[in-house]
């Protein structure tokens, strides 16, 4: 039987199993919970959410020997929602793994989708669900694609909500040469799509960090973002849209038509993402956490 020193858990399932481990006599694995406040934020935003999910998260927090918050924003949320457990919390910001540009792969993708030099490439990466704002893009995609024949829009991410998946398939059928869906891409290939893209869309209504936004910024892509607290660092390096108005269409079309603006924003976003990567101390912080847990 394999004996683990640590169990690092990102989800809120397995609480019964973890409780059994916690009750073991003698040496047992240390339980570390990687906290995301999305459940609470979804509830506050009016999304339908099973109360059992919230109870399970509370159980996870009680069971954990240590809790990691992946951003300062999440640390503040934890302090607001679970102040009684602050002594368990450590802030260790997410880090980014970067993949280099692969010319052969890039050229293959261009051929596969018949991408010409005058085409504008746009990318959405994330689960196909409302909390990720997929509906904001899909509802307006037909209008935008119809007006901008040189636009090619890629959706990358697994679907979770059937009605949104049906909507996506409808857009695929109507614009087979402009709209493309990739359920999954390995990280190396995903980065080639980042490099290829002129515009990256983050329409999410709730994020703890947004790894994909940082990744796309590292690939010199102009950012079109919903205004979220964790994305404030890109304030002067992106276009932000208001989800309560049809501001998304206006900002999107501005980026489609203005290559100089895209270039300027991409350069600014790149500098911010690189600066973040340089200050990241994930390995050192994480090693320090595990060393303290052993002690």
Enumerate the domain spans of the chain: 6-95+280-294, 103-278
Name the residue with higher pLDDT: 56 or 1.
Answer: 56
Instruction: Read off the pLDDT of residues 39-49 as tens digits, 9 standing for 90 and up.
Output: 677 666 666 66
* Dihedral class, residue 183 (left if φ above 0, else alpha if ψ from -120 to 50, else beta): alpha
Banded pLDDT at 252 (limits 50, 70, 90): very high
Q: For the whole prediction, is pTM greater than 0.85?
A: no
Other C-beta atoms within 10 Å of 240: how many?
A: 17
Instruction: Read off the pLDDT of residues 23-40 as tens digits, 9 standing for 90 and up.
Output: 777 777 888 888 887 767
Could you tell me which CATH number the domain at 103-278 has? 3.40.50.2000
| DSSP characters over 14-48 | -HHHHHHHHT-SSS-PEEEEE---HHHHHHHTT--
Instruction: Read off the pLDDT of residues 186-215 as tens digits, 9 standing for 90 and up.
Output: 999 999 999 999 999 999 988 878 889 999
The whole-angstrom separation of Cα 276 and Cα 37 is 22
1: pLDDT strictly greater than 50: no
Banded pLDDT at 295 (limits 50, 70, 90): very low
Looking only at the bridges linking them, the beta strands covering 6-9 and 30-34 are parallel
């Amino acid at each position: 039987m394999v004996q683990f020193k640590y169990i690092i858990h990102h989800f809120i399932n397995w609480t019964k199993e973890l409780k059994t481990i916690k009750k073991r006599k003698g040496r047992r694995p240390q339980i570390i919970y990687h906290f995301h406040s999305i459940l609470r934020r979804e509830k506050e935003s009016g999304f339908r959410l099973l109360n059992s999910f919230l109870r399970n998260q509370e159980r996870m927090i009680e069971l954990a020997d240590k809790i990691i918050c992946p951003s300062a924003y999440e640390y503040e949320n934890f302090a607001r929602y679970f102040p009684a457990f602050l002594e368990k919390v450590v802030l260790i910001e997410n880090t980014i793994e970067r993949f280099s540009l692969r010319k052969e792969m890039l050229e293959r993708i261009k051929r596969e989708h018949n991408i010409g030099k005058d085409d504008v490439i746009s990318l959405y990466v994330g689960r196909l669900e409302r909390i990720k704002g997929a509906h904001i893009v899909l509802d307006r995609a037909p209008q935008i694609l119809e007006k901008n024949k040189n636009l090619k829009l890629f959706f990358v991410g697994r679907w979770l909500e059937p009605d949104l998946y049906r909507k996506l398939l409808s857009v695929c059928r109507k614009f087979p040469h402009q709209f493309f869906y990739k359920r999954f891409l390995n990280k190396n290939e995903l980065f080639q799509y980042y490099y290829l893209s002129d515009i990256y869309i983050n329409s999410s209504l709730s994020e703890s960090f947004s790894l994909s936004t940082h990744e796309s910024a590292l690939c010199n892509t102009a950012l079109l973002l919903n205004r979220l607290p964790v994305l404030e660092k890109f304030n002067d390096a992106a276009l932000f849209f208001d989800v309560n108005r049809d501001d998304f269409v206006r900002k999107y079309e501005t980026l489609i038509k203005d290559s100089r603006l895209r270039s300027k924003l991409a350069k600014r976003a790149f500098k911010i993402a690189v600066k973040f990567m340089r200050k990241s101390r994930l390995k050192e912080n994480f090693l320090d956490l595990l060393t303290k847990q052993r002690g």
